[in-house]
């Protein structure tokens, strides 16, 4: 015999779910919502992710999500920031330009792998289709990495490894090439790809004749 759940019972169940969510407040609630968004992203991918699916996973309502994040894109970006997967964090400082840049690119590649190349590629496509989100994402995905490279190159110049007149285009070239691989091939750069980017492309452009 199949037991049919009445509308009243279903309503009560939803009320209990939303009640549990409402008892979580402030940072605790936001953390739970972002963790749910991250788990949903891993489970279904960015293109299939919906606010309804995240709300169901979090045991809350779409209204709770929309109060904080007006769109799916903003929710996913917030989830990536929450997981520490957008900004690169500590600037590598090994005492060697080559090792610093290798460490940075490996970190970028590892984070691409964790998010999922297909997810990140779809996410970036969504970003560029949404002009309102482009500035915020460029700050996290691009400008921040440019700032990291600037610090790495400043240290290398102070050590006498490189010239002091490196252009921004050349300075960001290693990260740009890793991102190019992601967008075109939809896969993270391999360890050999990263070494080739640094040794065959980047270092010959920036090292002093003495260091080369």
Angle at 30 between CA 28 and CA 35, to 5 degrees: 95
DSSP 8-state code for residue 200: I
| Residue 81: other Cβ atoms inside 10 A | 13
90 within domain boundaries: no
Specify whether 101 is located in the same domain as 44. Answer: no
Specify whether 40 is located in the same domain as 117. Answer: no
Mean pLDDT estimate for the chain: 79
Specify whether 140 is located in the same domain as 201. Answer: yes
pLDDT of residue 155: 95
Chosen domain end from 32, 49, 78: 78
Specify whether 70 is located in the same domain as 106. Answer: no
199 within domain boundaries: yes
CATH of the domain at 47: 1.10.10.60
pLDDT of residue 13: 46
Specify whether 108 is located in the same domain as 199. Answer: yes
The per-residue pLDDT string of the chain (212 residues; one tens digit each, 9 = 90 and over) reads: 444 445 444 445 444 444 444 465 678 889 999 999 988 988 888 778 899 999 999 999 999 999 999 988 889 888 877 876 555 557 899 999 999 999 999 988 887 777 766 666 666 666 555 555 555 555 555 556 778 899 999 999 999 999 888 998 999 999 889 888 877 777 778 899 999 999 999 999 999 766 65
Q: How far apart, in Å, are the Cα atoms of 179 and each of 27, 173, 183?
A: 32, 10, 6
pLDDT of residue 101: 96
pLDDT digits (tens, 9 = 90+) for 107-119: 888 877 777 666 6
pLDDT of residue 140: 57
211 within domain boundaries: no
Chosen domain end from 24, 47, 78: 78
Specify whether 102 is located in the same domain as 66. Answer: no
Specify whether 118 is located in the same domain as 46. Answer: no
Q: State the total domains in the chain.
A: 2
- Domain of residue 169 covers 97-206
């Amino acid at each position: 015999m199949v037991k049919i759940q009445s509308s009243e019972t279903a309503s009560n169940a939803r009320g209990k779910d939303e009640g549990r969510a409402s008892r979580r407040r402030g940072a605790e609630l936001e953390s739970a919502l972002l963790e749910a968004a991250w788990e949903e992203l891993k489970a279904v991918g960015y293109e299939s992710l919906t606010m309804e699916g995240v709300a169901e996973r979090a045991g809350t309502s779409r209204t709770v999500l929309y109060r904080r994040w007006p769109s799916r894109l903003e929710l996913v970006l917030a989830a990536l920031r929450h997981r520490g997967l957008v900004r690169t964090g500590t600037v590598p400082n090994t005492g060697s330009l080559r090792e610093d840049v290798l460490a940075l690119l490996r970190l970028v590649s590892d984070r691409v792998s964790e998010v999922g190349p297909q997810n990140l590629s779809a996410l970036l496509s969504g970003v560029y289709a949404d002009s309102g989100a482009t500035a915020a994402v460029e700050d996290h995905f691009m400008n921040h990495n440019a700032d990291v490279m600037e610090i790495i190159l400043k240290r290398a110049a102070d050590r006498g490894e490189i010239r002091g007149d490196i252009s921004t285009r050349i300075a960001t070239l290693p990260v740009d090439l890793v991102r190019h691989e992601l967008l075109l091939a939809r896969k993270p750069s391999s360890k050999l790809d990263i070494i080739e980017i640094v040794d065959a492309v980047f270092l010959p452009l920036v090292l002093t004749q003495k260091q080369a």
